[in-house]
């Protein structure tokens, strides 16, 4: 194939990574999945695995788990970019968070690495309601969340993946920072109402304080580092008024409108993931 690339997709089994990997493979590129279960393995907690995973790769899509804002992320990104340069990687595409000041420090490392780059800052994912920590409360029919009145322009992981693939394959995106949002900003209450109406299920939404939410997570045995991240996202990120802004970057990169939340709902209903759990 003409211009075939060797591309490492770090987090290649995650929300955006698996879609990026599938799209690149369908286009005929050679994709290496960067995960602990892959061969060669890539483990963020073991930098000795990184060199083998990077060897022979032209480009790298980087997602850091659980988030670039967490302690230790900056050090890991610094080490990874150095390794990538040693392995003659030509391009880095970093998935970052829109409005996360901590994540922007990691972006600066990639920007100043001497390697071609594109930064993809994403708003909160639609898929948090079907593939992540909001799914269980939806299934239970009772969702209690802080920051109930904050408008969030939720973005679909399909759109994020399409932008990432375009950035990886097209040099015109080198040096750019894209901020990805959906076409509408919705509150958590509005989201749950739309899901409730579309699924014809009675799902109650209750606004609570961040301290009450943190206490509930602690009582459920949620790890302390994850509780820290949730507190950060709900206060530092959702507390930032700039995060409610809607951008046209998806349209700019892809030449089409981003997916509306209502379309995401229709697609998700078809998967059956929101069907209530039937107990005998």
The whole-number pLDDT of residue 97 equals 94
- Ordered DSSP codes for 21-58: HHHHHHTT-EEEEESTTSSS--BTTBGGGHHHHHTT-S
Cβ 131 vs Cβ 169: under 8 Å: no
Does pLDDT of 132 surpass 90? no
242 burial (CB, 10 Å; 0-12 / 13-18 / 19+) is exposed
The label of the residue with tokens 């750019």 reads 176
Average pLDDT, the chain: 95
Query: Strand 59-62 to strand 91-97: parallel, antiparallel, or no bridges (unpaired)?
Result: parallel
pLDDT more than 70, % of the chain: 98
Max CA distance (Å), the chain: 60
- Domain assignments of the chain as residue spans, ordered by start: 6-122+157-180+245-258
Helices (H), the chain: 17-26, 50-54, 73-86, 101-111, 135-140, 157-169, 188-199, 210-219, 224-232, 249-254, 261-271
Angle separating helix axes 157-169 and 17-26, nearest 10 degrees = 50
How far is it, in rounded angstroms, from Cα 38 to Cα 226? 25
Does pLDDT of 277 surpass 80? no
The whole-number pLDDT of residue 279 equals 62
> pLDDT confidence of 242, banded at 50, 70, 90?
confident
- Tell me the mean pLDDT in the region 251-266: 98
**How is residue 208 annotated by DSSP?**
-
The whole-number pLDDT of residue 106 equals 97
Q: Residues 82-114: pLDDT tens digits?
A: 999 999 999 999 999 998 888 999 999 999 999
- Distance, C-alpha 136 to centroid of its chain: 19
Does pLDDT of 5 surpass 60? yes
- Tell me the mean pLDDT in the region 195-219: 96
The whole-number pLDDT of residue 20 equals 98
pLDDT more than 90, % of the chain: 91
The label of the residue with tokens 């009675």 reads 202
The whole-number pLDDT of residue 2 equals 57
Cβ 113 vs Cβ 84: under 8 Å: yes
> pLDDT confidence of 1, banded at 50, 70, 90?
very low
Closest by alpha carbon to 228, among 96, 71, 95?
71
Does pLDDT of 280 surpass 90? no
The whole-number pLDDT of residue 232 equals 92
- Tell me the mean pLDDT in the region 58-81: 96
Instruction: Return the CATH number of 6-122+157-180+245-258, one of 1.10.150.20, 3.90.1300.10, 3.40.50.720, 3.90.1150.10.
Output: 3.40.50.720
């Amino acid at each position: 194939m003409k211009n075939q690339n060797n591309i490492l997709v770090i987090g290649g089994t995650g929300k955006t990574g698996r879609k990026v990997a599938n799209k690149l493979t369908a286009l005929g590129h050679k994709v290496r999945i960067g995960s602990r279960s892959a061969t060669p393995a890539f483990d963020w907690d073991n930098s000795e695995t990184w060199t083998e995973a990077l060897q022979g790769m032209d480009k790298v899509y980087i997602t850091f788990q659980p988030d670039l804002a967490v302690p230790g992320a900056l050090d890991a990104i610094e080490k990874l970019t150095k390794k990538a340069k040693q392995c003659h990687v030509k391009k880095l595409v970093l998935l970052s968070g829109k409005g996360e000041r901590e994540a922007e420090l990691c972006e600066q490392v990639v920007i100043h690495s001497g390697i071609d780059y594109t930064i993809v800052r994403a708003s909160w994912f639609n898929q948090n309601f079907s593939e992540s920590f909001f799914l269980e409360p939806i299934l239970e029919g009772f969702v209690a969340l802080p920051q109930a009145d904050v408008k969030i322009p939720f973005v679909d992981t399909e759109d994020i993946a399409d932008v990432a693939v375009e950035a990886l394959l097209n040099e015109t995106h080198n040096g750019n920072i894209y901020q990805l949002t959906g076409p509408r900003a919705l509150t958590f209450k509005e989201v749950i109402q739309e899901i409730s109406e579309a699924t014809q299920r009675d799902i109650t939404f209750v606004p609570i304080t961040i301290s009450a939410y943190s206490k509930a997570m602690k009582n459920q045995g949620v790890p302390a580092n994850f509780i820290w991240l949730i507190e950060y996202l709900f206060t530092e990120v959702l507390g930032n008024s700039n995060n409610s802004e809607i951008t046209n970057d998806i349209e700019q990169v892809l030449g089409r409108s981003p997916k509306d939340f209502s379309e995401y709902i229709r697609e998700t209903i078809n998967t059956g993931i929101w069907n209530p759990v039937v107990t005998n």
